[in-house]
Structure 1
Amino acid sequence: MVGYKFMGKAHSNAYRALPMFFPDAPAGPELKVLCGRDAAAVEQARVQFGWEEAETDWRRLVERDDLDLIDINAPSDAHKEIALAAAAAGKHLFCEKPLALSLPDAREMLEAARQAGIKHMVGFNYRFSPAVQLVKKLIDEGRLGQIYHFRAWFLQDWILDPDFPLVWRLQKDIAGSGSHGDLGAHLIDMARYLVGEFSEVIGMSETFVKDRPIAAEMTGLSAKGDKNAPRGPVTVDDATLFLARFEGGALGSFEATRFAAGHRSTNSFEINGSKGSVIFDFERMNELQVYFTDDADDVQGFRRVLVTDAPHAYINAWWPAGHTIGFEHTFTHEMLELFTAIHEDRQPSPNFVDGVKCQEVLEAVDRSIAERRWVGLEEMQEA
């Protein structure tokens, strides 16, 4: 695994939990090598996370015959180079989102994976929430009817302080984009998963704080630095909003921001159909608000559905009825899909195709902002 901070910890926990809670899964992964540039820090993480070895050069990983899967959760600028080399060496790939810094890079990664005949997966973990699986079931079974609206918002406030240090997520050459690619990518994938493909988009964005103190130290979403230190430019968006039309006729609205005071990580969506509606808020991930138009008039209204009991997805593997699960469990469910797909000799879902499709929407929104117009997704096929 390349990367050992926020996502590295989440992935390590998922790998370790998989054989304990899903004993019928095809295989329990062997955590062989953890890789990072800081030798002392990666060794400390190796011990804490339970890996056998530590490494500082990812190139040595792809040369090893005893490794079958490479997990990439390093910053976005490292994804392409590692993925191409690993694919050429015949390693299966798991890569965090966004898949790449650009659409051409994402397509190159997909093509390399296809040519190598390997299994490939991209990290959209929110799909694997039991409540989201219930939404998917309601839509696929036609219980919400024709879908009219998908509205989604991912709101954070961790960089609200203008003196918060200039972390790598605020630098375009490393991150690719700001709230749009980091938070908005999850909303886009969720929309594609539940409602279908995008037809056209139009958006706007803003960078509210133009420069920040250079970071002295950073880990995950936290950082240390002196507010009087030299400042560097913020080269990504702080907030991006866009509207969309879907191929199936539904309308969509999307908001991703890191400047929503009081919102630590509000990841929510609402879907309205001809027969009903659903509302999901990841801060209350064990609940789904559901409304059906055919309820009797005297009891109509949104009902709170707890997804902590059977028959909801994944729940039987965890705790007794009524006992909740959390953020970390979505990653275990994600890894379950990965290892099951490898065992069944099929591509996991979501995979690099979904990563490319998400990148198409991200860049279509960017183009619409730059050119102040609606952009059709067919235009991105030529990009």
Structure 2
Amino acid sequence: MSGGTVRRLRVAMIGHGFMGAAHSQGWRTAPRVFDLPAAVEMSVIVGRNADSVADAAAKWGWAESATDWREVIARDDIDVVDIVTPGDSHAEIAIAALEAGKHVLCEKPLANTVAEAEAMADAAARAGARGIRAMVGFTYRRVPAVTFLRDLIAQGAVGRIAQVRASYRQDWLVDRDMPLAWRLQKEHAGSGALGDIGAHAIDLAQFVTGMKLERVSGVIDTIVKQRPLLGSGSGLSGTAAEGYGEVTVDDVAIFTGRFEGGVLGSFEATRFATGRKNALSIEVSGDQGSLAFDLEDLNALWFYDRTTPTQTQGFTKILVTEAEHPYVAAWWPAGHMLGYEHGFSHQVKDLVEAIDAGTDPHPTFAEGLQVQRVLAAVEQSSDRDSSWVRVDEDALARTA
């Protein structure tokens, strides 16, 4: 199914909900916008509740629905498995799909532990030898402004990188009566703000700079330790009581990191940044200039060029909507903005093209594993009074 022989790709998506809607948008739209080398068929969507998954199939354009992912993966008429379930099931589903000869797209973070992520990366490597491809859904790489930022850095726009600042700030947990959803339970989510949104900041920083994090020092904290159980009503009493459950993941993570070559980076992931709805931001500073991006203004970059005359220096806004910018030519005339959902169409485009060409799509499971090791190292650092922890293969033991 590689090397240009693909004529159609029949997709099964495991899971639905918020990410199910976003991924469905990508699968539905990409073939209508881009000239893909293979036809995409939205064959089946899988969920635990037959009624809700059937409703999702009808709403989002899937041909059928099912409740048993194992049966779906075993089908001969499925080529790609897209995993949008909570992290506790990523490893089992992805490994089974790869062993069944299916290409896999898996949402981030890759897994809940380094051990799981390593098993997934090993399975992907074995499958890769048979022409089966696997990719992690770090979708923000495919925001045109982010891809263009990466390109500018590679071209030397900021010169030699001196410092990186990255953060992902949200405020949806500021309300102490927000129920105890699965994202707040370690057995399902693996970690909280650190893994859910901090993973994006880590991947973004490494992607745009081309440098990997080698050491980290940080702290994580849980600000609200008990929340109402789903369906139990609201009103937190301040003490453990019937109808409340323990929050077992972090609400905020703040850490510093050393990249290859010694470049220092600062990172923040929080769900308690009051007023910040989805503020993923990065700023890369070098000896020739700086580049900055904020997802809440996702069609723009800010560029400071210190090689220009001093009296005219200042941050310049670049509107990333020109046909020459990454992905943009397939969409609207210049100045007609793109949105959050477009990254998922770009993700489908890149995955389908890689499958057809017989090449590995990025980020690979190996890249997802590396991010997982960073997450584990930050947690270990927090447990060790913020001491520096190396990011390496020994991180596997940190999740025990």
Common fold by TM > 0.5: yes
RMSD: 1.1
Tell me the equivalent position of 1:219. Answer: none
Counterparts of 2:137 and 2:72, CA distance in 1: 20
The one-letter code of the counterpart of 1:198 is L
Equivalent positions of 1:234-245 (< 5 A) are 234-245=247-258
**Cα deviation 1:97-138 (Å, max 9, x = unaligned):** 011110011010111122123200001000001111111111
2:368 alignment partner, one of 313, 336, 355:
355
Residues 18 and 28 in structure 1, CA contact (< 8 A), matched pair in contact too = no
Alignment partner of 1:164 is 2:178: yes
Q: Structure 1 stretches (4+) deviating beyond 4 angstroms?
A: none
Counterparts of 1:211 and 1:192, CA distance in 2: 34
Equivalent positions of 1:266-277 (< 5 A) are 266-277=279-290
Other structure's SS at 1:15 match: helix
1:210 alignment partner, one of 225, 228, 241:
225
**Cα deviation 1:191-245 (Å, max 9, x = unaligned):** 11122111210001110111111113xxxxxxxx511570000000000000001
Tell me the equivalent position of 2:301. Answer: 288
Counterparts of 1:128 and 1:382, CA distance in 2: 29
Shift of 1:380: 3.2
Shift of 1:19: 1.3
Q: 1:115 to 1:35 in 2, by over 3 A?
A: same
Residues 271 and 278 in structure 1, CA contact (< 8 A), matched pair in contact too = yes
Tell me the equivalent position of 1:94. Answer: 105
Equivalent positions of 1:103-142 (< 5 A) are 103-117=114-128, 118-142=132-156
Counterparts of 1:260 and 1:190, CA distance in 2: 20
Tell me the equivalent position of 1:220. Answer: none
Equivalent positions of 1:1-383 (< 5 A) are 1-22=13-34, 24-117=35-128, 118-195=132-209, 196-216=211-231, 226-227=233-234, 230-372=243-385, 373-378=387-392, 380=394, 383=397
Counterparts of 1:185 and 1:380, CA distance in 2: 19
User: Which blocks of at least 5 consecutive residues in structure 2 are unaligned?
Assistant: 1-12, 236-241
Counterparts of 1:376 and 1:329, CA distance in 2: 36
Counterparts of 1:90 and 1:150, CA distance in 2: 40
Residues 364 and 380 in structure 1, CA contact (< 8 A), matched pair in contact too = no
Other structure's SS at 1:283 match: helix
- TM-score with structure 2 setting the length: 0.92
Residues 276 and 290 in structure 1, CA contact (< 8 A), matched pair in contact too = yes
Tell me the equivalent position of 1:221. Answer: none
Other structure's SS at 2:57 match: helix
Counterparts of 2:144 and 2:309, CA distance in 1: 27
Counterparts of 2:280 and 2:56, CA distance in 1: 29
Shift of 1:382: 6.0
Residues 302 and 317 in structure 2, CA contact (< 8 A), matched pair in contact too = yes
State the aligned residue count: 374
Residues 111 and 117 in structure 2, CA contact (< 8 A), matched pair in contact too = yes
Residues 218 and 256 in structure 2, CA contact (< 8 A), matched pair in contact too = yes
User: Which blocks of at least 5 consecutive residues in structure 1 are unaligned?
Assistant: 217-224
Residues 46 and 53 in structure 1, CA contact (< 8 A), matched pair in contact too = yes
The one-letter code of the counterpart of 1:208 is I
**Cα deviation 1:320-360 (Å, max 9, x = unaligned):** 11100000001111111100000100110111011100001
Other structure's SS at 1:29 match: strand
Counterparts of 1:28 and 1:327, CA distance in 2: 24
The one-letter code of the counterpart of 1:19 is P
The one-letter code of the counterpart of 1:92 is H
Shift of 1:298: 2.1
The one-letter code of the counterpart of 2:214 is S
Counterparts of 1:325 and 1:28, CA distance in 2: 24
Q: 1:368 to 1:36 in 2, by over 3 A?
A: same
Residues 213 and 231 in structure 1, CA contact (< 8 A), matched pair in contact too = yes
Shift of 1:248: 2.5
Counterparts of 2:306 and 2:127, CA distance in 1: 49
